[in-house]
Each structure stands twice: as C-alpha cells, then as structure tokens.
Structure 1
Amino acid sequence: MNDGPPALLTLSVIGVGYLGAVHAAAMAELGHRVIGLDVDQARIDALSEGQSPLHEPGFDELLRRNVDSGRLTFTIDYAELADADVHFLALGTPQRDDGLGADLTYIHSALDALAPILEARDGKPTLIAGKSTVPVGTARELHARITSIDGVALAWNPEFLREGFAVDDTLRPDRLVYGVADTSDGEAEIALLDAVYQQILDLNTPRRVYNFESAELVKVSANSFLATRISFINAISELCDVTGADVNDVAEAIGMDDRIGPKFLRAGIGFGGGCPPPRTSAV
C-alpha cells in the first residue's frame, strides 16, 4: 500500500463495451485521466456525450460526472493513447464460430495497433493490463509478443463483475488479482497497478499477485464454479419433480451448511449472460 495522496496516471481502456465502459468511468472517478477507445463510432459518440449504452445501476451518473469533469474522454484513434501509462485491454473474447474455443482476434488486433505507439515511447515504463476473460496461456502468448519493446510490461488483472453491481464491484471489489510473468520479478508491473488502485487498496482490499496462468484461471474457475452450482440445483430440481420433493426446501436446507452456502442455489432456466456460457467451454 502506498502512503500519501494517490499518484494520478493517464490510462487507456481499449474496448468500451460493458466491462470497458464501467472500468473507464470508475478509473476516472478515482481521479485518473482516462481515454476509452473503441472501433464503434456510434458508441464513442454516445459515451462522449455522457450517454450510457448499457443499463447498470449508478453507471449513468458516474459516466456523466467524469465526462463533464474532463477526466474521461473517448476516441477511435489509437494515436490519442500515446501518453497512457497503463493500457487496459477490455475487449470481447466471444466463442469461436468454428468450435468451443475463445476468439482472441480483438485482443491481438489491439496489440497490433498499440505496438507502434509503445515503440515510440522510447523505453518509458508502460504497462498493458489485461481485463478480458481469456483461456489460460493467452497472457504468456501476448507477453512473448511485446518482449522486444523496451520499457513495456504485461500484467493480467481479471475482473469479477456481477451484473447489476458492476460499478460497486469495480470501485469496491472483494479482491484484486494481478498476474505477472514472474512473481519474483514483477515489481514494475505491481507498482503501476498499485498506483492505479491506490484508493481501493487503502480500503484494505485484499490484493494477490500470481503468475499469468493462475490469474487467468482464477476468473475462468470462478465462472465455472458458479455455473456448476446453478446446473447442480437445476439437476436436483428435476429429481424433485420426479419424487415429489420441493426444490426450494432442499436448497434452503443444504444452503444452511456453511461449507455450501445459499448463493446460486435457485432452480431456474439456467445460466446465461455474456460471460459464463462461452467461458465454461473455452478454458
């Protein structure tokens, strides 16, 4: 944890969909200068005017406040990211059309576009921080692509957002996870992320530093475990239908066991959204 006032940085957030837009506005709320980038001109225009493209409690006010303050701007031009100390990758990684793997096209395209900007910084410390949910091994692959660029480092910093609570989960997370190439030699990456999150760390938020693979798998495992709980109680619900039992009674009783807990034990139509379905098949 750092002492004294927070070090305010210039950050970029590449990809301003659900994850990226919330992250960009939240980082501006912490006082940083933030530039959000996307290839969708209509989305950039709307965000630049403080108009939210998503429905998330508290986000509309957060967006407008920080756009109005001038701390938060949006662009489609990578050249405007030249002064950023940290580049957050918040791009989509949808399921591939030809199989169960994750499509990493957007991640690699962003790195291609960033490369000349990073090279032009002439060794000034710069961090690329991955927020996207990716298969294990992705960060190591991206790291290999940037090792020839002096002064540039990579970390993986997974998000753990819940729909309906994304703003709070960004500003008051229950943990911060940093993935670095080598946990014994990641001081620069850790220092930059600590500077980004100093106000959050000052709230005694747990911070864990792992290698790339562990950080990637933390996110994938969390999604898979929650999906497993939902699938489990739905399977029990089918058994209840056959036997005459009440799944709500069963879920209530097993949830009283502190080894199990009551969360995500509601029988229903299953799990969905933009994250769990593709992630459970693209580990």
Structure 2
Amino acid sequence: MAKVMPKRRLENIGLTITGACVALVALVVITLIFMVAQQGLTTFFVDGFDPIAFLTGTHWIPEQDMYGALPMIVGSFSVTLLSTIIALPIALGSAMFVVEIAPGFGRRVFQPLVELLVGIPSVVYGVLGLYVVNSAMRMIFGASAGTGAGILSGAIVLAVMILPTVTTLSIDALAAVPNEYREGSYALGCTRWQTIWHVVLKSAMPSLMTAVILGMTRAFGETLAVQMVIGGVERNMPTGLLSPASTLTATLTSGLNNAVSGTEFYHALWSLGLILLAMSLVFILIIHLIGHKGAKQNG
C-alpha cells in the first residue's frame, strides 16, 4: 500500500500540471480573442461606422475618414488563392516523387532540401521578390506592369514560401496510406500511375486538403515579404493581377506605426485585425471538419 500511494500522488501531480497547461493555453486564446474583438468592434459600436460599409467600402483614406476594407480583403484573398494554385501542383508532384517514385533519394536528399526553405527568413524572400520577381514582371509585361509590384508578384513569392509546408504535409499524407491499398491495386493489374491517381491520392484526400488549408493559412497571415513586393497601395481597389495592391496584414503593419491610440484610425486597424482573426478561425474550423470527415472515412 505504501508503494501505491506515491504512484497515485505522482499521477495526480502530472494531471494537475497538464491541466494547468491546458487551462493556460485556453486562457491565452480567450484573452486574445476578447482583446481583438473589443478593440475591433469599437469602430462600429463607439465610433459609429457601418459594418457593411466598412467591409464593402472600396477606399481606404484615413486622412478623409474613409475606411473601406474591401481592397485589402480582395488583395489578401487574391494573393492567397493564387499562391495556392501555383504551389499545389508542385507540392503534390514533389510528394508523389518522394513517396511513390524514388523514396530512397526523396527521403534522404530531396525532402531535407525542401525543408530548408522553412528556415529562410521572410525578409530574404521579400528582397528576392523585390529584385528578381518584380524585375521579371517588368521584363515580361513591359510598361503594363509598372514597377513590377502587384498581386501576381506577391503570389509568386508566397507560393515559394508555402511550398515546403504543403509539400511536407503532402508527403506525410501519401506515406500514411497503407501499402495494402497499393498491393491490392497492383494485384488487379493497375499500373503504378493508375494506383497513385485512383487509389493513393483518393485515400489521402482528407489529409491533402488539410495540407492545402494550412498552406493557405500561412499565406493569408504573411506580412513582410508580401508588403515588399505587392506595392502597398490600399487606397483603391486593385484592377488586375499586375496592379499594386495591399493585404490586411500589410496595411496593419504599416498603419500601426502612425496610428494614435484611441483614434478612429487606430480602431479601424484593429477591425482589420478582427477580420484576420475571424478568417484564421474559419480556416481552423475547415481543418477540423476535413479531419473529422477523414476519420469517418477511414473508420
């Protein structure tokens, strides 16, 4: 009996510590949401701005008390979706190469090289985009590209930044497909490509969708690199992929340096942060729904 009590006491201590950690994380998340919501909603409930006009307004001119967030919302979603479209085929092809085509070389050489891209600071991507991607836009599209800064340039830089995340998660998703599925497909006379396309990819689809959503989340919240190559023009709606624009994160980082606490401009910036937070929560919810659906299919 004397030996059992210390074990129970140790288990209780462990449960207390882990419970305290969970409570602390939950408290931080709730506090963060409450703080951003309190400051962001002040724009509508205290300063008197119409939420619909704020979300659909096409002009962001603080000097004239015009706060329309639609140009930044369009810029953020355009860059995010376009970068995902660019990165996804490359990431998926790389994952198939590593798992299905050349697993030895892929695991030992290629995958570590891809993962090295994660450690490169955002400012390096921004500098490369500023001097390489923007210059390429001017060379390819001529005068219509202006300085080269625009949504397309930002999307290309973001595609390179999210590529290692989507690739690594896609590799894990394909590797998690049981070998019995492949062997059964080969036994039925299917070729390797037919097996990959009709069996492996379909079985790993929920996990692949999670990889895509996580990549989009990373792209949606990126700030510095996009700010350097997209142009930073938030006053008006972007007119095309080559026109300078701005994103929610870029406007936030550039505006907070000049905002005075308690002013309408300050609260409007917090409202942009509230939109970012809401979209992040939506992305997380989608990930959980996809994971729940995948668990049902596997079950």
TM bucket normalised to smaller: under 0.3
TM-score (norm 2): 0.26
Q: Larger relative contact order (C-alpha < 8 A, sep ≥ 6)?
A: 2
Q: Greater strand percent: which structure?
A: 1
Q: Greater helix percent: which structure?
A: 2
